[in-house]
Amino acid sequence: MTPQDLQIDWLRCFVAVVDAGSLSAAAGEVHRSQSAVSMQLKKLEDAAGRRLLERGPRKLQLTPDGQTLLGYARRMLDLQAEAQAALHGDELTGRVRLGVPDDYAAKYLTPVLKRFAPKHSGVEIELHCEQSPSLIPRVARGELDLALVSRDHARRGTLLFHEPMVWVGSAQFELWRRDPLPIAVYEEASLARRGAIQSLAQQGRRYKVVYNSSSLAGQIAAVDSGLAVAVLTQCSAPPHLQVLGAEQGLGPLIPMEVGVYRSRESRGNKAVDGLHDLLVKTLRQSAAG
């Protein structure tokens, strides 16, 4: 297999299918018919001499060879985009005001910025770390261009994935044995707070709010110190804390709908367009993988 065997159009269709999860969804992304996308994939597999995708019960699945090629395909497409920008003067410039809660920043935002920043050094990212109930109205007021948040309404923003919620406690203190159960919660508008209280109400379990904080670090400190148990996003739960469940008498929690919100004022801003599209593409792919 030589580099010229792997045409850019084939790779673009391949990556689109992986990110979208199906041929039909990818067809719109690459502005081709579903049959044309299928033909492009066949040409790529013929050139590679390997099976790259298998049909699963719900979606297409990458084969081990497909997984290997995917990383190279993304790099080749990124390099082509950089070359086109350099030749045609399409380099993005400007500022993007981006909001994200602490618990989503490290796991979900970091890989996106690692891909965006090297390609668009002319774009300044102004980052605001706050909880979703604070970020969402700031986007609505035009104070932020984008925000990666827990959605407060099913029809708002662009849904990216569902984030599991977990009860956490310290094995050292075993507070789940207490009645009423001492809990640490976020601010009044927090969806995590509502979910925790709803779960306890459905169980008919008595509880007492002993700690309020909008800070993730504060929630973890309350659990570490033996003050309370808490509800956290799975991605932010430290490994040293114990995940609690039915064995400890705690019921299931509704997952968070994680989405990206965008201000009306940012429409037409190419720098915001670029980061928004990369957020959607990267995080949907990550959730699918």
Convert the pLDDT of each residue in 158-200 to its tens digit. Answer: 889 999 999 999 999 999 999 999 999 999 999 999 999 999 9
111 and 144 housed in the same domain? yes
Helix (H, G, I), strand (E, B) or coil at 248: helix
Of how many residues is the chain composed? 289
Look at the chain and report how many structural domains it folds into: 3
154 and 116 housed in the same domain? yes
What residue numbers bound the domain in which 216 lies?
165-254
CATH classification at residue 146: 3.40.190.10
What's this model's pTM, rounded to 2 decimal places? 0.71
60 and 106 housed in the same domain? no
CATH classification at residue 34: 1.10.10.10
Largest CA distance in the chain: 69
150 and 264 housed in the same domain? yes
Of the residues 88, 118, 146, the one at which a domain ends: 88
20 and 149 housed in the same domain? no
Reading the block at residue 71, the tokens are 């990383």
Burial class (CB in 10 A: 0-12, 13-18, 19+), 107: middle
Residue 177 per-residue DSSP state: G
100 and 75 housed in the same domain? no
Q: What's the pLDDT band for 115 if we cut at 50, 70, 90? A: confident
83 and 128 housed in the same domain? no
